[in-house]
Amino acid sequence: MNQNRDPLEHLDRFAPLGQPAIVNRIGVLTSGGDAPGMNAAIRAVVRSALQHRMEIVGLRHGYRGLLQQEVQPLDSGSVGNLLQRGGTFLKTARVPEFHQAQVRARAAQSFRELKLDALVCIGGDGTFTGAHLLWLEHRVPVIGIPATIDNDLYGTESTIGFDSAVNTAVQAIDRIRDTADSHERLFIVEVMGRDSGFIALETGLACGAEEIFFSDSAVTVDQAIDHIRRGQKRGKLSSILITAEGRKPGRAYDLADQLQKKAGLEAKVCILGHTQRGGAPSAFDRVLAARMGASAVEALKRGYCDAMMSWTRGRIEAVSLTQVLAHRKKPPEEWVKLAQTLSS
Ligand code: F6P
């Protein structure tokens, strides 16, 4: 890998004829599900913009704030004492009407009325789909910062919030392990991640789960039963199975039903749910947010847009949103195999 390579070289500039555009006023928003580290990312964007003598305003409640012009002026002080807090002080929202072209046209109109030159959009795939369309349809310059606990965005090894969510799940499961062991019980723990298996797999590896279920893994209920039975023969009387909420077919309670029906195994179910979305961001997520936030502003200053900041082999790079949205990221196959080997 060439360390001197310009991480922005392959992106579209947004000024015609290659002239760097002048970005004087940026709007920043957080959209979709919140993720620990979003506040740290906003802080980095705000302070980096101010450093470059740009004006910066927050748009509250994601794209809803853009549509309704819910503007929050921001200065260095307004992002003080936030770095360590979960959630997003700019608030967030899911705005399904943003799928409609006429709603995006209204948003672009609002962008111009607010005299913004660019948007920094912090969120996940839904956020970036909206951002990419704002650029394609209305030439609104956008830069994305990936922040979702699901880690399901192509083009970056980690999204902001993923590491924190995994740590939260690991702490919870370590506690469950104590009670499972004391009572010699079988537990099924359901983690978030929508239809992607990153939280399930990484949490499972970190907790030594006996089996990990998610949509891209081939593990079957029969294999899990075999695994548990083999353990019982060796005197291992408690087990933890982890399942991703979006696993098809069925969620944790369906899995428990199947274990009961097929093998008479009693399982306790624990759904971790939104506990994984809250809490202080990990140190890793804070640093990732700082680096991505600063790079997003740098990218805009240099006249680039329609890109997502990415973390690749320790470097912050930029990947075009076209690339990000055209691919589905899957958990690495070797991790799945490793989890199976280590839990056997
Ligand atoms: O995308 C983040 C996420 O937490 C998913 O893991 C989960 O499926 C979803 O959001 C839940 O969304 P909501 O809080 O809107 O119900």
> Any idea what the CATH number is for the domain that residue 200 is in?
3.40.50.460
The ligand 1 atom nearest the CA atom of 245: 8
Question: Atom 2 (ligand 1): residue with closest C-alpha?
Answer: 33
Of 277, 269, 319, nearest in space to 296 by CA? 319
For residue 7, tell me if it sits in a domain.
no
Token digits of residue 279: 């809490």
Q: Same domain for 52 and 187?
A: no
Instruction: Give the HSE-up count for residue 102: Cα atoms under 13 Å, Cβ half-sphere.
Output: 0
Q: Same domain for 319 and 218?
A: no
pLDDT at 272: 98
Q: Same domain for 212 and 226?
A: yes
**101-115 mean pLDDT:** 98
Q: Same domain for 123 and 20?
A: yes
Q: Which of 127, 192, 196 to mutate to test the pocket of ligand 1 (most atoms within 8 A of CB)?
A: 192
Number of domains in the chain: 2
Would you call 62 helix, strand, or coil by DSSP? coil
- Of 277, 294, 311, the last residue of a domain is 277
Residue 226 DSSP symbol: H
Q: How far is the CA of 193 from the centre of ligand 1 (A)?
A: 7
Q: Same domain for 61 and 146?
A: yes
Question: Atom 1 (ligand 1): residue with closest C-alpha?
Answer: 33
Would you call 324 helix, strand, or coil by DSSP? helix
For residue 1, tell me if it sits in a domain.
no
163 is catalytic: no
316-329 pLDDT tens trace:
999 999 999 999 99
Which residue among the candidates 117, 150, 152, 285 is catalytic per the annotation? 150
Question: Atom 6 (ligand 1): residue with closest C-alpha?
Answer: 193
Of all residues in the chain, the percent with pLDDT exceeding 70 is 97
Confidence of residue 4 (pLDDT cuts 50, 70, 90): low
Find out whether the beta carbon of 123 lies less than 6 Å from any atom of ligand 1.
no
Confidence of residue 5 (pLDDT cuts 50, 70, 90): confident
Q: How many residues does the chain have?
A: 344
pLDDT at 1: 47
For residue 334, tell me if it sits in a domain.
no
Q: Which residues pair with 316 in a beta bridge?
A: 311
Find out whether the beta carbon of 149 lies less than 6 Å from any atom of ligand 1.
yes
Token digits of residue 181: 């062991």
Note if the pTM is more than 0.75: yes
Q: Same domain for 318 and 184?
A: no
Strands 55-59 and 71-73: antiparallel
pLDDT surpasses 90 at 308: yes
Question: Atom 13 (ligand 1): residue with closest C-alpha?
Answer: 33
Whichever domain contains 300, its CATH number is: 3.40.50.450
For residue 302, tell me if it sits in a domain.
yes
Find out whether the beta carbon of 33 lies less than 6 Å from any atom of ligand 1.
yes
Dist. CA 225–CA 210, nearest whole Å: 10
Count the Cβ atoms, other than its own, within 10 Å of residue 174.
13
Find out whether the beta carbon of 277 lies less than 6 Å from any atom of ligand 1.
yes
Q: Same domain for 191 and 94?
A: no
Residue 132 DSSP symbol: H
Do residues 69 and 113 touch, judged by C-beta distance below 8 A?
A: yes
- Of 241, 256, 277, the last residue of a domain is 277
Q: What is the dihedral of CA 114, 302, 98, 86, to 10 degrees?
A: -90
Token digits of residue 276: 């994984």
**259-263 mean pLDDT:** 97
pLDDT at 97: 97
Question: Atom 10 (ligand 1): residue with closest C-alpha?
Answer: 33
Q: Same domain for 52 and 177?
A: no
Q: Same domain for 18 and 141?
A: yes
pLDDT surpasses 70 at 242: yes
**Residue that is written with structure tokens 């030439």 in the block:** 139
For residue 2, tell me if it sits in a domain.
no
**Residue that is written with structure tokens 């624990």 in the block:** 270
Q: Which domain range does residue 218 map to?
A: 165-277
Token digits of residue 249: 């077919």
For residue 245, tell me if it sits in a domain.
yes
Q: How far is the CA of 194 from the centre of ligand 1 (A)?
A: 7
Find out whether the beta carbon of 138 lies less than 6 Å from any atom of ligand 1.
no
Find out whether the beta carbon of 194 lies less than 6 Å from any atom of ligand 1.
yes
**Is 281 exposed, middle or buried, given 0-12, 13-18 or 19+ CB atoms closer than 10 A?**
buried
pLDDT at 129: 98
**Residue that is written with structure tokens 């039975």 in the block:** 229
Q: How far is the CA of 192 from the centre of ligand 1 (A)?
A: 7
Question: Atom 16 (ligand 1): residue with closest C-alpha?
Answer: 33
Count the Cβ atoms, other than its own, within 10 Å of residue 269.
16
Q: Same domain for 75 and 108?
A: yes
Dist. CA 221–CA 206, nearest whole Å: 22
Q: How far is CA 20 from CA 2, 15, 23, 149, 297, in A?
A: 25, 6, 9, 34, 14
Q: Same domain for 273 and 300?
A: no
Q: Same domain for 39 and 141?
A: yes
Strands 211-213 and 142-146: unpaired
Averaged pLDDT of the chain: 94
SS3 content of the chain, % helix, strand, coil (to 5): 45, 20, 40
Return the amino acid letter for 275: T
The ligand 1 atom nearest the CA atom of 192: 6
Q: How far is the CA of 103 from the centre of ligand 1 (A)?
A: 23
55-99 pLDDT tens trace:
999 999 999 999 999 999 999 999 999 999 999 999 999 999 999
Dist. CA 12–CA 101, nearest whole Å: 23
For residue 90, tell me if it sits in a domain.
yes
Task: Could you list the beta-strand ranges (E) of the chain.
Answer: 25-30, 55-59, 71-73, 118-123, 142-146, 186-191, 211-213, 239-244, 267-271, 307-312, 315-320
For residue 152, tell me if it sits in a domain.
yes
The ligand 1 atom nearest the CA atom of 152: 1
Q: How far is the CA of 317 from the centre of ligand 1 (A)?
A: 26
Q: How far is the CA of 94 from the centre of ligand 1 (A)?
A: 10
Confidence of residue 17 (pLDDT cuts 50, 70, 90): low
Find out whether the beta carbon of 13 lies less than 6 Å from any atom of ligand 1.
no
Dist. CA 89–CA 4, nearest whole Å: 36
